[in-house]
Structures are given as C-alpha cells and as structure tokens.
C-alpha cells in the first residue's frame, strides 16, 4: 500500500457503504420507479413495455386524481403557513423573554416526538364531526361552552375539510419551527439590536429591520422541511380517515394503485409526480445554499 493510498483509502472505505446504499436504495430505486412509470405495466403479470410516458397524462383522467391534487395543495398551504406563522410567533414570545421559558420550549417541542399515527388517533377523536349533542371532542366542547355555532364537520367537509386535516400537522410541527426560529433570533448579535435602539428605533422597528431580515435562511429551511413533509403526508391521514375519497392525497393514491388496484404503472407515476413536486422545493434551495456557501 503506497503512502498516498493510505491517506485516501480508509476514508473512502468508510464512506463506501453509504455511497453504495444511497446509490442502490435512493438513486437506483428512483430509476426503477421511473422505469415502471413510463411503462404500460398496468398489472403485475404483463411484460415490460415502454409507452412513452402516457401515464403522466392519463392519470388526470382518473376520477379520483384531481381531487387528490386539490387536497394536497389545500393541506400544504394551510399546514406550511400555519406552522410557519405559529412557530415564528411562539419563538418571538420566547425571544421577548417569558418566565419558565425552558419548560414552555419543551412543551411546544414535545409534539414532534409523537408519531403522526398517534397524533392522528387523538385528533380523530378531537375532530369528531357529530353535532354537539352526540359529539365527543371539540364539537362537544363548543356545545358546552355555548359556542355550538362553531361546531363543524371538520375534515369531512368536501370543500375545505383538508384545511382541518392540516390542524394536527400544524400542532405537531410548529414547535419544531419555533426551535428553528428561536435559534435564529438568538444568533442575531445583541450589539446590532443595541445599535438600532441607540439610533432611536422602536422595539417593533428593531425586529422589522434588524432581526427578521437575518432570519431568511431559517425561514427557507423551515419552508423546505414543512413543504416536503406536507407533500408526503400519508400516516396522519391513514390514522384519521383511512383510505377514503374525501381525504384522498397523492401518497394514499400511490398505495391504493399499487396494493389495492394492482396497477404498478399508475402507482409509480404518482410517486414520480411526488418526487418532482418535492424537487421543485428542494432544488432551488440547494442552488441557493451552494451559492451562499461560495459567497462566504
């Protein structure tokens, strides 16, 4: 073994398992999935046949698919904005300094430790849509507080139900966003704030012009994390509603196509669409972060 090989070989061997694993289980499977997606394999028996990606257009003729896309968009908007705003607001309160900050931090961060399944089971009960007189959960609470008018169908509303479905997800992830923002707030040097105050800036203006502009990277990474979680959402919906059209989303559709309808091509097509949607979020972020690294 030459001296030069000694310097790089062990390192290479150390990372080789990861490279192999990522190559096979990530890129290999992406390739395989795409290969199935552009095939005419609409059952498990017929042989492979390339069909020039007709599935990507045909999918839109499936009666359940446009609804799934609409649900995913509605869910994403409510979930991402909700978690972002609530997380930022909580972090802001913490940053202003409140008593018992450590325990509040733990309380808000804690939901993230719970799986979406467990969270879904609890929220299925909370969001019971029965009218207050025979409801459990929130509608019953509204009834007892004489706020019966607030009782609603939650996720079973055909038009806006998916907005309600995003509530458990907001509850679960806003603590994490709060932690991100809090770290961001704390990284703004106290001298900068002091300087602004000396210049006569009000407390609001300090945040508006000094602190928030420095939080753009935090906001962006929170957006990426929330966005891709939102597009992949599966377990939360399975726990609350199961496989029902009223809460159909692309990830559920993949499962139904592959395991219920036995149509691998359609399932792979939906999975490819999901991958593209996530890539739309992640690729600009990667470009941006590489540029930011270079600029440094």
Q: Which of residues 145-204 bind other proteins (CB under 8 A)?
A: 153, 156, 158
261 binds other proteins (CB under 8 A): yes
Q: Which of residues 265-294 bind other proteins (CB under 8 A)?
A: none
20 binds other proteins (CB under 8 A): yes
Q: Which is nearer to other proteins, 91 or 256 (CB)?
A: 256
Q: Which is nearer to other proteins, 245 or 290 (CB)?
A: 245
128 binds other proteins (CB under 8 A): yes
129 binds other proteins (CB under 8 A): yes
Q: Which of residues 202-221 bind other proteins (CB under 8 A)?
A: none
| Residue 124 C-beta: closest distance to other proteins, Å | 7
The pattern of x and - marking residues 66 through 85 that bind other proteins according to CB under 8 A reads -x------------------
Per the rule left: phi > 0, alpha: psi between -120 and 50, beta: everything else, 130 is beta
Stretch that binds other proteins, among 47-55, 70-78, 112-120, 261-269 (CB under 8 A): 261-269
Q: Which of residues 234-253 bind other proteins (CB under 8 A)?
A: 241-246, 248
Q: Residue 265 CB: number of other CB atoms within 10 A?
A: 24
Q: Which residues bind other proteins (CB under 8 A)?
A: 6, 9-10, 13-17, 20-21, 24, 43-45, 63-64, 67, 124, 127-131, 134-135, 153, 156, 158, 241-246, 248, 256, 259-263
């Amino acid at each position: 073994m030459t001296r030069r090989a000694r310097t790089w070989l062990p390192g290479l061997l150390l990372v080789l398992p990861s490279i192999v694993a990522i190559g096979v289980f990530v890129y290999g499977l992406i390739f395989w999935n795409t290969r199935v997606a552009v095939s005419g394999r609409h059952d498990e028996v017929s042989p492979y046949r390339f069909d020039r990606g007709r599935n990507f257009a045909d999918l839109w003729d499936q009666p359940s698919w446009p609804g799934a896309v609409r649900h995913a968009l509605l869910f994403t908007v409510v979930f991402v904005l909700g978690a972002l705003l609530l997380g930022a607001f909580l972090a802001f309160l913490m940053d202003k300094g409140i008593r018992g900050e450590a325990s509040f931090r733990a309380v808000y961060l804690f939901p993230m430790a719970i799986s979406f399944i467990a969270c879904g089971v609890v929220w299925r009960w909370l969001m019971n849509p029965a009218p207050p007189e025979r409801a459990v959960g929130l509608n019953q609470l509204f009834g007892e507080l004489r706020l019966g008018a607030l009782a609603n169908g939650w996720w079973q509303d055909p038009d806006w139900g998916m907005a309600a479905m995003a509530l458990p997800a907001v509850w679960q992830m806003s603590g994490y966003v709060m932690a991100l923002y809090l770290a961001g707030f704390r990284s703004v040097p106290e001298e900068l704030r002091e300087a602004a105050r000396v210049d006569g800036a009000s407390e609001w203006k300090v945040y508006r012009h000094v602190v928030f502009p420095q939080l753009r990277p935090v906001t962006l990474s929170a957006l990426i994390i929330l966005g891709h979680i939102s597009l992949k959402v599966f377990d939360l919906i399975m726990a609350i509603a199961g496989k029902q059209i009223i809460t159909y989303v692309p990830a559920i559709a993949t499962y139904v196509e592959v395991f219920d309808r036995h149509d691998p091509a359609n399932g792979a097509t939906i999975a490819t669409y999901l991958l593209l949607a996530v890539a739309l979020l992640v690729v600009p972020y990667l470009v941006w972060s590489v540029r930011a690294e270079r600029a440094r």
